[in-house]
Structure 1
Amino acid sequence: MPGSMFSHVMVGARDLEAAARFYDAVLLPLGLERGPDAEAGPKGICYRQPGSRHPTFDVQEPFDGSPPSPGNGCMVAFMAPSRAAVNTAHAAALAHGGTDEGAPGLRERYAPDYYGAYVRDPEGNKLHFVHREG
């Protein structure tokens, strides 16, 4: 995607099958599609906007072979096409082994139209789903 700020964002996972079930349920409602599995490096899966090669959100076994661990203060935020999509992604996360870090709702301290929700995936990575009207 020309002009995009990011090439990819990556989080680690021990169990890629479980990660795929979780992220398929959570990211497909946000309008992302699952791309081909990683061809180079450790096993992994990726998600992206339909018709785009980049940016991608990748879930892979860590390159160094050590167990994955979430970084304190690190978070991946996904744009949602609607408030309903935020709600759906949050509910899907909880139904697929995620934990709640902040229920869906307006976050007016960020902006008057900022609607979001926070979860942690089964590996402990913090995710945020956000929709803005403008």
Structure 2
Amino acid sequence: MNPFSHVDLRVNSFQAVLPFYEALLPALGFTRTFHSERWRVFAADGDLPEAAYFAITEDPGHRPDANLIGFWAENQEQVDRIAELVVRSGGKISDGPRLFPISPTYYAAYFEDPCGNKYEIVHRLN
């Protein structure tokens, strides 16, 4: 069983980030939406509440920090595609995509959403 349940993310502006997440999250497999006035929820396949989901709420006082959320990629090409999507959607690549010295096959891109929240997309064989 995958122990992951969900992410509750704060952003300082829905207007600044929603186009970014509406492009990124479906590309990562969060294809269903369950939005409310306060939350934008993107869920993966499966039955709720077991399906993993990514929820975003607006908090004008939010300031990003050094926390990082990582996503798996099926291959290096998916890492490249997600990195391109990040840039097209208003995000910023902070490093990569490239091989990192974590392992011989650790291919990743590090990026930020338009509010500065930090992410990684990685493909790794060992």
Q: Determine if the TM-score, normalized by the shorter chain, exceeds 0.5.
A: yes
Distance 1:48 1:82, change over 3 A: farther
The code of the aligned residue for 1:30 comes to L
Residue 61 in structure 1 maps to residue 58 in structure 2 = yes
The 8 Å contact of residues 79 and 97 in structure 2, kept in 1 or not, is answered as: yes
Q: After the TM superposition, which residues 1-134 of structure 1 pair with which residues of structure 2 at under 5 Å, given as runs?
A: 3-38=1-36, 43-53=38-48, 54-62=51-59, 66-71=60-65, 73-107=66-100, 109-133=101-125
Distance 1:36 1:122, change over 3 A: same
Offset from partner CA, 1:58-112 (integer Å, 9 cap, x none): 21123xxx522112x20011112221211111111112221121021112x2122
TM-score normalised to structure 1 length = 0.78
More off after superposition, 82-91 vs 22-31: 22-31
Check whether the contact 1:4–1:55 (CA below 8 A) recurs between aligned residues. Answer: no
The size of the alignment, in residue pairs, is 124
**1:25 CA drift (Å):** 1.7
Could you tell me how far 1:52 is from its partner in structure 2? 4.8
Question: In the TM superposition, what is the alpha-carbon distance from 1:16 to its structure 2 partner?
Answer: 2.4
Relative to structure 1, is the Cα distance of residues 52 and 16 closer, same or farther in structure 2, using a 3 angstrom cutoff?
farther
* Shift in alpha-carbon separation, 1:31–1:82, aligned structure 2, 3 A: farther
Give, as a single letter, the amino acid of the residue that structure 2 aligns with 1:102. D
- In angstroms, what is the RMSD of aligned CA positions? 2.1
Q: TM-score when scaled to structure 2?
A: 0.82
Inter-CA distance 12–132: structure 2 relative to 1 (3 Å threshold)? same
Q: Which runs of 5+ in 1 are unaligned?
A: none
Residues 78 and 117 of structure 1, relative CA distance in 2, 3 Å threshold: same
**8 Å contact kept, 2:30–2:54:** no
Does the 8 Å contact 1:34/1:45 carry over to 2?
A: no
